[in-house]
């Protein structure tokens, strides 16, 4: 059984400020089962008791898992005083307290970004020991060479002598490559291509594990991930 204060439950599930959830409860807008409850400190069992707000059932989700197609010019952060973040782009019906991006995409990098409030899940996704693959498409400022495939497969040594884990490089055309890595060092892909004299003009993440960026998801749009989707990341 999962016990929780009623005001906290309403606040978390409906993305309301805690003070507003208390006010709504005091005003009789919340029912537990068929009973109006006016005490915000009432303890409920979220697994067995139905809660209604303005006669609409409040569905309980312990954690929320979102996939966003991150656009350029937006920070992969929970908040920033001067710049727009990915959290700012989440539609109101999917907002809730405590959401944060899993890992980071650079401000000018686009593509698949997971957003959640589940810290354990996030840790499992980004810790290098888990070896979860991240796949990107990179557009370069000069031509790729076949020998780069073997070089990347052995593990690139960066300019500061940091050794990267082996990566899979696929040449898509003369200046476009698909690259799959299992770690996430600072500016890693840009630095890896830098060791072979190539600059990255554009970078898009298209996959994490077996989870792929949906073709029909526009920049800035967000969808809810299913349990099957999560397995595609963690398996």
Burial 49-83 (b: 16+ CB within 10 A, else e): eebbbeeeebebeeebbbbbbbbeebbbbeeeeee
Residues tagged active-site = 106
Q: Which of 9, 22, 21, 12 is nearest to 96 (CA)?
A: 12
- CA-based angle 228:213:136, to the nearest 5? 120
**What is the Cα–Cα distance from 92 to 95, expressed in whole angstroms?**
5
DSSP letters for 101-161: ESS---TT-EEEEEEES-HHHHHHHH-GGG---EEEEEEESS---THHHHHHHH-PBPTT-
Helix (H, G, I), strand (E, B) or coil at 227: helix
């Amino acid at each position: 059984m999962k016990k929780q204060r009623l005001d906290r439950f309403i606040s978390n599930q409906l993305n309301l400020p805690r003070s507003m959830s208390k006010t709504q409860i005091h005003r009789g807008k919340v029912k537990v089962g068929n009973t109006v409850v006016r005490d915000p400190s009432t303890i409920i069992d979220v697994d067995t008791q139905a809660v209604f707000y303005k006669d609409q059932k409040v569905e309980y989700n312990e954690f929320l898992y979102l996939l966003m197609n991150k656009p350029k010019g937006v920070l992969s952060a929970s908040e920033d005083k001067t710049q727009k973040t990915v959290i700012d782009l989440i539609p109101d019906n999917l907002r809730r307290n405590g959401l944060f991006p899993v890992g980071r995409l650079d401000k000018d990098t686009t593509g698949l970004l997971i957003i959640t409030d589940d810290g354990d899940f996030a840790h499992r996704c980004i810790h290098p020991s888990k070896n979860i693959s991240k796949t990107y498409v990179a557009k370069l400022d000069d031509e790729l060479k076949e020998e780069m495939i073997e070089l990347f497969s052995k593990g690139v040594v960066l300019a500061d002598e940091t050794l990267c884990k082996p990566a899979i490089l696929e040449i898509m055309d003369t200046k476009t490559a698909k690259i799959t890595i299992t770690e996430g060092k600072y500016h890693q892909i840009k630095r890896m291509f830098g060791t072979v004299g190539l600059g990255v003009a554009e970078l898009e993440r298209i996959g994490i594990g077996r989870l792929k960026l949906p073709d029909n998801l526009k920049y800035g749009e967000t969808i809810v991930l299913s349990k099957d989707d999560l397995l595609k990341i963690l398996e």
